[in-house]
Structure 1
Amino acid sequence: MRAVITTEAGGPEVLTLDDVPTPEPKPGQLLIAVVAAGVNRADILQRQGHYPPPPGESDIIGLEVSGYVSAIGAGVTGWRVGERCVALLAGGGYAEYVAVNAGQVTRPPEGIDLVEAAGILEVAATVVSNLDAVRFKAGETFLVHGGTGGIGMFAIQYAKARGATVLTTAGTPEKLDLCRTLGADTALDYHDDWVDGVKEATGGRGVDVILDNMGAKYLTPNVRSLARLGRLVVIGLQGGVKGELNLNTLLGKCATVTATSLRFRPADEKAAIVSRVSDEVWPLIASGRIAIAHQTRFPVDDVRAAHQQLTGGNHVGKVVLTF
């Protein structure tokens, strides 16, 4: 089969297409013939040598795919060869075939084609699992950074559907307008003092939950923006890995800072998350309450351009590779 491989860490130029052995499904697994693969920030980090796969997983980049069931491993029930599916992976997605535990595979939302579906599962699983982890509930105030990225566009709509007051950050007037169109009650330019913007929008109270992909760069302003009993969830490190935390500020707010990685969760946890997304999110997409993020699509032969697109300053939505 064809797959994208990297011979060394580096820029997009290290990504090449090559022939590699087609995997065989082990007991409990499905083999998927890939139609499309989502491109995520984690893929950029892996290419750069900063985010290796968990032990025993494929070193081929790619954390989500859509396609058709090609073969069924021993002990797997409920699936037929040829069925449409989407899968959450720990690696292996940039390839024509991928083998994955059956619990991490589900059917796509009704009315959604397979290329559209390739960019949904990883962002939905990330947002839903993290908001569940911090006991997010209706009526709370929620801030997500990067409102026009794949995570941000989904999180705005999902939190709004859950009954939240939603704040977000973005970098241009056009992107701020898009965030408002998606349902954000307040959209703040991150070039400005967005902490003051949060205070003004919340009457000085702060927000209950923050979903953050920046890491160290935003640690201090995020903690300042929390309400009493607020919860900060760090899911990305685009702004660095080491920052200073004022424990007195955290203590005074009785607040919580946590960080999670979806990729390194055990298979049974991933299966539970995929099941929850299918039950909770797919009906919201099918009903139109959550719109799928704008996609920029590239054939797998143009994988280098796909990575350049994701890291470009004008990027909006999801990037998807097609096979």
Structure 2
Amino acid sequence: MDDTAEAGAPPARGVRTAWGSVPARVRAAVEGRLGARVVRARTQSAGFSPGVAARLGLADGRRVFVKAVSAAQNPESPGIHRDEVRIARALPAAVPAPRLLADLDLDGWVVLLFEDVEGRLPALPWEPAELDLVLGAVGDLAAVLTPSPVAVPPVAQRQESAFRGWRVLSADHAAGTDDLAGLDPWAARNLPALAELESGWAAGAAGGTLAHADLRADNLLLTPDGRVVVVDWPWACLAAPWYDLLLMLPSVRMQGGPPPERLFAAHRAAAGADPDAVTAVLAAFAGYLLGHARRPAPPGLPTLRAFQAAQGREALAWLRARLGE
């Protein structure tokens, strides 16, 4: 796996932990599981995790990709890694994702060992040919993963507490704990309507497709043979077949891509989508992004809030276009 893409948009990067900073007992257990010594480690910076993400070179010439984290880097990250273990173990071979080779849960560290994919992140700003390739892969995913081959929570359960951004902002403003400073003026004026609109998101997003639920450029690898490999599956859930597409498109626009509505309307995964359902889910996603962007940065993720704010502005612009505003 390689992460050489750059863009003018806020970077999708945490403060990575070096492989050598992992306790010696955990590193020795990894080598025991792999059956060979680690002779080199190259940190990969892209992605929102403060833990280890590195390509490991082994003494026998093999390469593997390691993800590892403990609560010392971020208290929520070990649970996220454990969720990813469960999903990665269950993904069928037809899914273009790295195969999980082994995992460890030792001394508070959660470690995932994947096959190392020869690939790179998409070029940013987006190049039309690469975006077309990725959008085609998103459609293929929706087809292959409907019905879901993996037992995962429905999206309403997965995002129950997150997709309440406008309602939380409205309540905080009414309580006098958020003056809405810095919020888009149109959103501030229409906060009650946005709160009501987002309340229908769960019914709108419901479906039987296994959604990745976090598709962005930093979770995609383009291989030399023209494939798109999708990495980082901890948030997988059951949702509508267009859910992944909708969540991805604001980041595409933020990173130099075309207007989201044009891409969404033309995409096969969105064929037959209920327009009201799409609008409700988009409203909830915009509220989530802009609401979370107002919070302090989580430990080890200093660029996350700026990234969410930029995504949120594009999601809100798309929402306003759908509403005719």
Bigger RCO of structures 1 and 2 (CA < 8 A, at least 6 apart): 2
Richer in helix (by share): 2
TM-score (normalised: structure 2): 0.29
Richer in strand (by share): 1
